Every structure is written in C-alpha cells, then in structure tokens.
Amino acid sequence: MKKVIIIGAGISGLTAGVYALQSGFDVTIYESHTIPGGASTSWRRKGYYFEGGIHWMTGTLPDTPTNKVWKNIGALSDDIPIHVRDPFLTYDFDSLTICLYRDIDKLHKHLLSIAPEDKKEIERLFRDVKKMSKISMPIMDIKGVKVREKSGVPLSSIIKMLPAFALIPFYSKQDSGEFSKRFRDPMLSQFIKTIIGPENNALGMVLTIATLASGDGGYPEGGSLAMARRIADKFEALGGTINFGSPVSKVVTRDGKAVGVLQGENEIPADAVIVTQDTLAAIDTLFETPINEPWAEKMRKETKPVLNTFVSIGVEEELSDLPESLYFNPKVPFYCGGQEQTIVNINNYAKFKDYAPDGCTAITSIIGGDTYEFWKQCKQNGTYNEEKERLANALIEIIENKWPRIKGKIAVWDVATPLTYERYLSSYKGSWMSVMGKGSKMESYPTKPKSINNLYFAGQRLMVPGGLPVAAETGRKAVQYLCRDTDTVFQGKM
C-alpha cells in the first residue's frame, strides 16, 4: 500500500483523502489549523455561530453530478436538510426593493414591473437564463485512468446545453458592470451588477441566476464547519489520519520526485504528495526552488485574487422578519481599509436554529476589496486591533440607522481581515477565490507539474473562478492522476 501525504484539510484535501482511501492508499493529512474545512469554516463567539464559508453551494440538487460527489465524500446525505433561501438576495433602495427570486417567471414579472422601459433587455436576459439553466458542472474521468464506475457527460445532456454554449462569447466579453449599463433604469442597473460584483465576468452573473432558477444552490444545515466535519469523519472512518496543528514547511524532492514533507526539521517520507494549500502561494513557499513552469508563471501573472474583510455581529434581537441577504446604500460615508464602500450587505441567520441565543440573531457582512497592504501596515504600526474596532463600530452604526430597533443591542462583534485569512489558510494575500473578469475564460491549471513526479495539486485556484465544487472536483482529479500513475483502479463511487 503506497503512502500518500496530503497538505491541507480543506474541502479539496478532505475530498482527495476520501477518494485516495477508497482506492486503497495509506493517507495522512497534515493541517496547520485545529479544525477541518480551510476557507469553508464557521466559528462561535459568546454563544453566536458565525458562518464564514458557505453562503450557497451548487450541487445541493439531487441527481446533479456534483451532488453525487458531495454524497460520496460524506458532505451531504439524504437526511441533511438543505435551506433554499428565496428571494436569494434583496436590494433595498429605500423607496424601492428589488428581489432576486428563484422562480424565473416570478423574477421576470418582478423586473418588468420595476423597469418596463427595459423590457427588451429583460426579455433577452430571461431567454438566455432559461438556456443557461441546462448547464451543470461536469464530473469526468481523466484520460487513461482505470475506474470502477465511469463518469462523464451523457450525449443527451450535451445536446441540451448546446444553445447555452452559443451565448458564452457574448457574456464573456464584458463584465457585469458593463452589462448592467444595457438597462436604463438606474436601480435595475445597480441591482444587476450587484449579483456577483461589477468586476466579474457577466457570464458568471447569468449562470448564477440560471443555477438558482434550476433549483440548485442551497445551504446545508449546520453550514461550513458541520459539512467539513462530516467529510473528515468519513475520511477517518475509512482509516485515514488527520494531524491537526501540524503545518508543513516544505515538500521534500529528490531526483525530480516528491519523497515526503518537512515539519520543522523532521522529514516525513511518502510515495506521493498532494498539495491542497492555495496553489498560488504553494508554488513559491513549499519548495526549495519555486516552481517556474509556464503554467505557474501564468498563474502568478494573471490571477486576480478575491479578498474581503469579514465582519460578524451578534444582536440581542430576533430579526427573522428581515431579509436573509440584504444589500443597501449607506447614508453616511463608510470606509474599509481606506476604501469607500458604496454598498453594505448583510447576511441574516435569524431563521437558523442554534446560531444565536434564544431571541437573538447572528449577522455577518462581507466587505470586498484588496485591503491587504492597508491591514499589513496597521499590523506593523500597532493600530491593527484599533482599526478593526473602528470598522466594526462604523458598520454597527450604519446597521442601527437602518434598523433602529437593534440600537444598543449589540452583544459581540468580530472582524476577520485578509491577514486573518492568510494566517489560517496560508493563502496568497488571504485570498479564497479568483476573479473571472472581462474577456476571461474558465481557466484551468495542471494537476501535475512536469518537473516533479509523484506531486499533485488540488484546490480552488486550479479552476478559475473557484468555489466549493471546484475544490471537490480538483481533489477527486488529483487522486485520478495518482491512480493512473500507479496503475491503480480509481474506486470513487458516483
């Protein structure tokens, strides 16, 4: 039995671990944190449970290819309730509220009632969304691997997706901000570019609406940490070992092969190593000589990382009557990391059991923007904690102005900056996804480097823009390459 070491117990590392064990390998995962999940995580503060990872995930709909992967690795099962929020998001313009409903016909009528002057563009958008709803992320076997059960895309599914494929060039050539300008109504235009952010490829925005319309994209009960622990439990039940609090400093290579890892001065031998730490960081930090293959240079040059500052707030008030995901424009200037924020978003977990003490609510806010250097400077000059408190108080004031009933009822707050993510994930600048911008394609990077044998990569960075399904798929793919290289039958059950 060949020994495999996996670096990282995030979703990709856990997925790779389950599939490798199923295929007969001896597997040990080394994780620097004390819990599994990586970026897919949650935490408690003073009785409040803050969701820091999953806000919605594709593959929750039964019979989709990704759902089969989730069930195979233990992330989901038929008895795990899936919460499907509807509307998916709400934008409050004070005088007008626009909702992103999942029911495509309801959403269609809703937008027409708000902006009848944009009927032509609305009609076009919804024709395209209906075509795009036929697309689902494929789960396929790599060429040349022996498998117990074959996986691929049926011809019937390809035929259904053909009309959608013809639309991809039109949406890919523009970002959501540019696409939003096609709508004359200013509030509808703002709403359109808010769905996934103005800098992201418009294709992602249409696919998001299409995925929701298909019925996919929910939130598993218990959230990120509970899901990660389910996968970890299955991994350990299969005989795998997770060493928590055990950071790996280097991958050991000799004669062009990965032969183990270093923990401090201790070398731990292995027949193969799967790296699931952020690839963009790993290619520079985990090797004695950084990997300089063409794909690695391209990744360094072209990756546009997604960064955010994450604010969590515990409120001593029951807020289940308010939207679950709300966007609004603050009435006073609001800054994070020196950057003015024109939109505030609030995720409201009042409807979830055990996320807060009785009669209370856990809420979170994701503030986008590359503020890494700002927070780094704060850390260096000793104002880091002071600045986090200033940010939290500024956001609390805005929320209290929005909902006066919560004034004076803030029980706890917590701020995670890009430096927090960097510390816990060892990711590039604390980034957890990549931007697929204007003109971008769904870029994929190799699982295997050419210069080092017995070495495999997995994780979100390998398939832009990333996301939980990508983490799982790349973990599965890494094990398929491992199986092919060792003439082993891949046992993943689909």
The per-residue pLDDT for 223 is: 94
Average pLDDT over residues 317-321: 97
Domain boundaries, the chain: 3-40+65-79+221-304+435-485, 95-136+152-214, 308-428
pLDDT for residue 85 is more than 80: yes
pLDDT in tens, 244-259: 999 999 999 999 999 9
For the chain, the residue count is: 494
Q: What does residue 391 show for φ and ψ, rounded to 5 degrees?
A: -60, -45
Instruction: Please state, in angstroms and rounded to a whole number, the distance separating the CA atoms of residues 325 and 302.
Output: 32
Q: What is the mean pLDDT of residues 110-139?
A: 93
Task: Report how far residue 206's alpha carbon sits from residue 168's, in angstroms, rounded to the nearest whole number.
Answer: 10
Has residue 428 got a pLDDT over 70?
yes
The closest of 262, 249, 238 to 493, measured between CA atoms, is: 238
Q: What angle do CA 415, 418, 423 make, to 5 degrees?
A: 95
Q: How far apart are CA 429 and CA 95, in angstroms?
A: 39
Whether residue 239 contacts residue 232, with contact meaning beta carbons closer than 8 Å, is answered with no
Q: 3-40+65-79+221-304+435-485: which CATH number, 3.50.50.60, 2.170.130.10, 3.90.1150.10, 3.60.20.10?
A: 3.50.50.60
CA torsion sign, 159 to 163 to 168 to 169? positive
| Average pLDDT of the residues in 125-146 | 91
Mean pLDDT of 300-317: 96
Ranges of H-type helices in 23-73: 65-73
Q: Looking at residues 448-468, what average pLDDT do you find? A: 95
Question: For 196-202, what is the mean pLDDT?
Answer: 90
**Is the predicted pLDDT of residue 494 greater than 60, yes or no?**
no
Is it the case that residue 176 has pLDDT exceeding 90? yes
What residues pair up with 306 in beta bridges, in sequence order? 433
User: What does R_g of the chain's alpha carbons equal in angstroms?
Assistant: 23
Q: Across 204-218, 402-416, 431-445, which has the greatest mean pLDDT?
A: 402-416
pLDDT at 470 over 90: yes
- Count CA atoms closer than 13 A to 203's CA, side-chain side: 22
Task: Name the E strands within 417-485.
Answer: 433-434, 455-457
Express as a percent the part of the chain with pLDDT over 90.
87
Residue 442's closest CA among 460, 429, 423, 415?
Answer: 460
What is the model's pLDDT at position 63?
A: 83
Pairing outcome for strands 3-7 and 26-30: parallel
pLDDT digits (tens, 9 = 90+) for 1-50: 699 999 999 999 999 999 999 999 999 999 999 999 999 999 999 999 99
Query: Does residue 303 surpass a pLDDT of 70?
Result: yes
Give the count of beta carbons closer than 10 Å to the beta carbon of residue 459: 30
What confidence score (pLDDT) does residue 1 get? 67
Least confident of 139-153, 225-239, 296-310, 474-488: 139-153
Give CA separation, 366 vs 311, 324, 349, 403, 460, in Å.
7, 14, 14, 18, 19
Task: Kindly give, in sequence order, each residue whose CB lies less than 8 Å from that of residue 336, ignoring residues fewer than 6 positions away.
Answer: 309, 367, 369, 371, 391
Residue 461 confidence (pLDDT): 95
What values do phi and psi take at 321, rounded to 5? -80, -5
Give 207-241 pLDDT, tens digit per residue: 999 999 999 999 999 999 999 999 999 999 999 99
pLDDT score of 27:
98
pLDDT, residue 493, reads 67
d(CA 71, CA 438): 34
Which pLDDT value is given to residue 261? 98
Mean pLDDT of the chain: 94
Closest CA to 478 of 308, 323, 486, 349: 486
Packed helices 104-114 and 186-194: angle between N→C axes, nearest 10 degrees: 150
Report pLDDT for 450: 96
